[in-house]
Chains A and B, each alone.
Chain A
Amino acid sequence: MTGSAIFLQQIINGVSLGAVYALLALGFTLVYGILELINFAHFSVFMVGAFVALVVLEAFGLQGQSVVMHGAPLVLVLLVALVVTMVASGALGVAIERYTLRPMRNVKGPMAMITTIGVSYILFNLVLLATNAQAINFPDPMPQASYHVGGVVIRLKEILIWIVSAVLMIGLNLFVKRTKLGKAMRAVAQDAEAARMMGVDVDNVVMIAFFAGSALAGAAGMIFGLYYNFAQYSIGYTAGLRAFTAAVLGGIGNVPGAMLGGIVIGLIETLGSQYIAARWADVIIFSILIGTLVFRPAGLLGMLAPNRS
């Protein structure tokens, strides 16, 4: 491969990875925008989502890479798996909010954040114990088709990831911008008290935000599994922290910012691994996180968070 082909190839890999981070970052951003809460449980919802997708795909009789499907059946199976995963993850997010975070809503200080750490730890360790800490082979029914474009290989899988991510992100954007609930959500993000007085059911809005964010995290989990062909208890932590970095980089609370941040972090990870060293990739990403927070806390596209003093 030539130098420029390697570069382009890493761009493609970076965008695919970035799509996962962007989907995950949206969940952080939605919740932070409304509750001003960093939701560490989101890490584990993503990981659980990957396992839900794995179970659903295996329920279709797909084991590892042995079964390859084509055409309509493939699309149908993937679609069913995606929907089930998103609904299950969304429900998990809603349950977490309802039973562990709502009671903490008006408690000041780091208490709510500590609770999300606890929830994340519980999910993390449940899966760890259930899987014996092993990486589990993720079913991959997609044909190994790929397209060669100017020395660069684009796999069918990648195209699918891009399409699904783009659809979900555009869908969320439309939901937030165009629907009544989306408007209520933005109103709560600006000023929950005023929104309540205008008749917005704040609890409902928070629930929707958790559902949407967690459903997207589940989708990201499934995409991650399909892309890397494995699922493991620990994937939530690394991916979650990078996605959080993406949300901060884009401007936390800002939906397009999370998407942009995700892609940028994905690119930094693949290009950094290619041209610097994989073992330093995390250091680079965390340095970006810290640097953004210190020098440009509003991120690339500006922060949209409640202004509470």
Chain B
Amino acid sequence: MKRLANLPPRTKRILFSVLLAFLLVFPFLDTGQANIDIAANCAAYAALALGLNIVVGFTGLLDLGYAAFFAIGAYAYGILNSYQLHPAWSNGWAPLAAIGFVAKLGAGAAATVHFTFPFWVMLPVSAVIAAGFGVAFGAPTLRLKGDYLAIVTLGFGEIVPIVVRNWSSLTNGAEGLNGVAPPSVFGHSFGIDSTPYYYVGLGIVLLLLFISQRLKPSRIGRAWMAIREDEIAAGAMGIHTTRLKLLAFAMGAGFAGLTGTFYIAKLQTATPDMFDLPVSIMVLVMIVLGGLGSVWGAIIGAVLLQLLQAWFLPELSAMVQALGNAVHSPFLSNLELTSASELIFGIILVTMMLYRRDGIVPASRNEVRLSFAQQDAAVSRGSLPAVERLSRASAQAAAAGAPAALAVRDLTVKFGGLTALKSVSLDVPAGGIVAVIGPNGSGKSTLFNSITGLVTPSGGSIDFAGHELIGQRPDQILRYGVARTFQNIRLFPNLTVMENVLIGQHTHLKAGPAGIVLGLGGVRAEEREAREFVLELLAMFGNRLIPRIDQGVAQLSYANRRRVEIARALATRPRLLMLDEPTAGMNPAESLELAEQIAGFRDLGLTVLLVEHKLDVVTRLADNVIVLDYGEKLAEGPADVVRRDEAVIEAYIGRGAVNA
């Protein structure tokens, strides 16, 4: 199956066409109504799985109350196209009656309203209603950490069926809605024939498949995956994580709502237990089986599990029971394997997690193998002027706003009883390179985290180009033009070099969900340009990264990962670039090469603040060096002056090093 995902696009298209042709003629193969009905149910669950895949697979948010949105979509249609509600007729209903959304029952004062909202109208409306509930449930909870979110969604997943059970006047309680009208086309009702439902289901799956496929490699899909891979790094790259999580949640809910309407129209009844926790778990099992984040995996997982329940287990039970009757074994003749389906779900979950976490159709591509020529090639040096866009961007920003100077005043950070930074002040002039050095634990990374909004200081101020940074979200700070790398490298490990650097451009791209799904020209041009910019940026490192552009970053060497992280930070078109130990893990030659490149950033108009341990790199680069020790500023000045400072030698450099 993994190989299937790596077939050339042409072969994939042919396979897809053959599959589609088969699915289109399937009802005419005369395999019986029951099989068509099973296929229609497969479609419903595939649609559900595609929605949950956006939430869990793309964005990494475990949603255990997904069936609630299925229920909301189902009841929205069920209530608005059945005899459940029958308010007294008044002339206010006349406009709705005129377009066929309601009908008048009876006459005179006893007349009541009969809701007949058409199925085709309710499909999108239910999606919107469910998405609205998704936003309402998600807005207060999505800023919670991932594991808490799971439990909150579980709570909502419980509350919705309870409300449905208890609010009898609206939902007919535990008995369920009856007499939900089937859809009709030009006055021909679908009735109970499975074939039309099959085609509608197929259409829904194709639509949702198309939407998923379009979103995945887009600005939005990448942001979702960035959140999944590393939420803190995603925020630091300018992604408004709460908003994007909400979008994923709402979109998944919308898919479920739409499917709910389809499902209920097909069944023509709805009871609360159709939407309890086991349904949410079943859909989760489907996408785990198929492969989290894999669009085709979601569909295949859904179809397999539906076939397991609706066809394989009953057939197997019948066979075992026949065998039991033949050998006169009461145990075998009474064995009902269908009741073991949930046990099988549990086994699937555990087995997949332990042995095949990527599912049967893994979402991530195979690694691109480097040719011998590429592996053997002498390392070439790139050139900075190639990054023309970058200098243009920084020139524009400089012309537009205040100079890109950073001023930190009396910054104090406390973690419980520990004071990590104590009244530290420092300046980074626009266009300057300032280095912060100091022993481990002296507060260098805390300083970086305070500037980029990951840590909330307890006092002081941080001003960048006229903006106060304290109290701002990391993504807002990035928008002001402050980008950073992390000491322990926070790339998005399961994404490629290209995708990682593209995510850096998140704030500079504008594509919205509608534009992406419709494939508007502007969106495509923007995407093309973004990819070109990635190539330009990577060319800065010569042939070190370009041949590996489609490799997962987890496969790269440590030094190359540092380079990707720097490229990703540059892709945000920053005015202030903050590098946390950029040369860590590089050999002396590589370190000096990078130092030259950093010096080149200044020529592009960037301001640089770096934490660095290698004093030769610091001496070479920095106009000014700030020494931190125990959270306090110990010394400040040009590198050669600081190097001779008695206190600095004592605290950091060590006497032996100087004497030697």
Tell whether, in the assembled complex, residue A117 and residue B166 are in contact, meaning their CB atoms are under 8 Å apart.
no
Tell whether, in the assembled complex, residue A280 and residue B350 are in contact, meaning their CB atoms are under 8 Å apart.
no
Q: A244-B151, A286-B158 are in contact. Are A119 and B141 (CB under 8 A)?
A: no
Is B520 close to A, CB under 8 A? no
User: Chain A contacts of B354 at CB under 8 A?
Assistant: 100, 103-104, 115
Tell whether, in the assembled complex, residue B347 and residue A122 are in contact, meaning their CB atoms are under 8 Å apart.
yes
Tell whether, in the assembled complex, residue A121 and residue B345 are in contact, meaning their CB atoms are under 8 Å apart.
yes
Task: Name the prevailing secondary structure of the A interface residues.
Answer: helix
**Segment of A69-77, A224-232, A290-298 engaged in the interface with chain B:** A290-298
A282-294 interface code vs B (CB 8 A; 1 in, 0 out): 1100110110011
Is A168 close to B, CB under 8 A? no
In Å, the complex CA distance between A282 and B158 comes to: 8
Tell whether, in the assembled complex, residue A113 and residue B150 are in contact, meaning their CB atoms are under 8 Å apart.
yes
Min CB distance, A231 to chain B, in Å?
Answer: 19
In Å, the complex CA distance between A128 and B343 comes to: 9
Min CB distance, A118 to chain B, in Å?
Answer: 3
Tell whether, in the assembled complex, residue B349 and residue A115 are in contact, meaning their CB atoms are under 8 Å apart.
yes
Tell whether, in the assembled complex, residue A110 and residue B158 are in contact, meaning their CB atoms are under 8 Å apart.
no
In Å, the complex CA distance between A104 and B229 comes to: 16
Tell whether, in the assembled complex, residue A282 and residue B162 are in contact, meaning their CB atoms are under 8 Å apart.
yes
Is A309 close to B, CB under 8 A? yes
In Å, the complex CA distance between A46 and B232 comes to: 36
Closest to B343 in A: A125
Tell whether, in the assembled complex, residue B340 and residue A129 are in contact, meaning their CB atoms are under 8 Å apart.
yes
In Å, the complex CA distance between A95 and B357 comes to: 21
Is B346 close to A, CB under 8 A? yes
Is B281 close to A, CB under 8 A? yes
Tell whether, in the assembled complex, residue A38 and residue B156 are in contact, meaning their CB atoms are under 8 Å apart.
no
Is A211 close to B, CB under 8 A? no
Closest to A244 in B: B151
User: Chain A contacts of B165 at CB under 8 A?
Assistant: 279
User: Chain A contacts of B151 at CB under 8 A?
Assistant: 38, 244, 248, 289, 293
Pick the contact of B347: A118, A120, A294 (CB < 8 A): A118
Pick the contact of A297: B144, B232, B288 (CB < 8 A): B144
Pick the contact of A114: B154, B163, B349 (CB < 8 A): B349
Pick the contact of A122: B154, B162, B228, B346 (CB < 8 A): B346
Min CB distance, A284 to chain B, in Å?
Answer: 10
In Å, the complex CA distance between A119 and B155 comes to: 20
User: Chain A contacts of B163 at CB under 8 A?
Assistant: 283
Min CB distance, A80 to chain B, in Å?
Answer: 32
In Å, the complex CA distance between A271 and B565 comes to: 56
Task: Name the prevailing secondary structure of the B interface residues.
Answer: helix
Is A241 close to B, CB under 8 A? yes
User: Chain B contacts of A118 at CB under 8 A?
Assistant: 345-350, 353
Q: A283-B163, A287-B159 are in contact. Are A129 and B343 (CB under 8 A)?
A: yes
Is A109 close to B, CB under 8 A? yes
Q: A115-B353, A118-B350, A279-B162 are in contact. Are A125 and B62 (CB under 8 A)?
A: no
Q: A118-B353, A121-B281, A279-B165 are in contact. Are A110 and B346 (CB under 8 A)?
A: no
Min CB distance, A117 to chain B, in Å?
Answer: 6
Chain B 123-181 residues near chain A, CB threshold 8 A: 140-141, 144, 146-148, 150-152, 154-156, 158-159, 162-163, 165-166
Tell whether, in the assembled complex, residue B353 and residue A38 are in contact, meaning their CB atoms are under 8 Å apart.
no
Tell whether, in the assembled complex, residue A294 and residue B144 are in contact, meaning their CB atoms are under 8 Å apart.
yes
Min CB distance, B336 to chain A, in Å?
Answer: 9
Tell whether, in the assembled complex, residue A110 and residue B147 are in contact, meaning their CB atoms are under 8 Å apart.
yes
Is A8 close to B, CB under 8 A? no
Pick the contact of B353: A114, A122, A128 (CB < 8 A): A114
Is B388 close to A, CB under 8 A? no
B38-79 interface code vs A (CB 8 A; 1 in, 0 out): 000000000000000000100011101000000000000000
Min CB distance, A165 to chain B, in Å?
Answer: 24
Chain A 82-127 residues near chain B, CB threshold 8 A: 100, 103-104, 107-115, 117-126
Is A158 close to B, CB under 8 A? no
Min CB distance, B99 to chain A, in Å?
Answer: 37
Tell whether, in the assembled complex, residue A290 and residue B141 are in contact, meaning their CB atoms are under 8 Å apart.
yes
In Å, the complex CA distance between A287 and B137 comes to: 12
For A128, A237, A280, A290, the residue with the greatest tally of chain B CB atoms inside 10 Å of its CB is A290
Min CB distance, A102 to chain B, in Å?
Answer: 10
| Selected A-B contacts with CB under 8 Å, 29 pairs | A36-B147, A37-B147, A109-B146, A110-B60, A110-B62, A110-B146, A111-B353, A111-B357, A113-B62, A114-B62, A115-B353, A118-B346, A119-B350, A121-B345, A121-B346, A122-B343, A126-B343, A129-B339, A237-B277, A244-B151, A282-B158, A282-B162, A283-B159, A286-B155, A286-B156, A286-B158, A287-B155, A290-B140, A293-B152
Interface residues of A (CB under 8 A from B): 36-38, 100, 103-104, 107-115, 117-126, 128-129, 237, 241, 244, 248, 279-280, 282-283, 286-287, 289-290, 293-294, 297, 309
Interface residues of B (CB under 8 A from A): 56, 60-62, 64, 140-141, 144, 146-148, 150-152, 154-156, 158-159, 162-163, 165-166, 228-229, 232, 277, 281, 284, 288, 339-340, 342-343, 345-350, 353-354, 357, 454
Given A118-B349, A119-B350, A289-B155, 4 additional A-B pairs, CB 8 A: A104-B354, A279-B166, A289-B151, A289-B152
A-B interface, 10 closest residue pairs, ranked by CB to CB distance from nearest: A118-B349, A121-B346, A122-B346, A125-B343, A286-B155, A110-B62, A118-B350, A115-B353, A294-B140, A125-B342
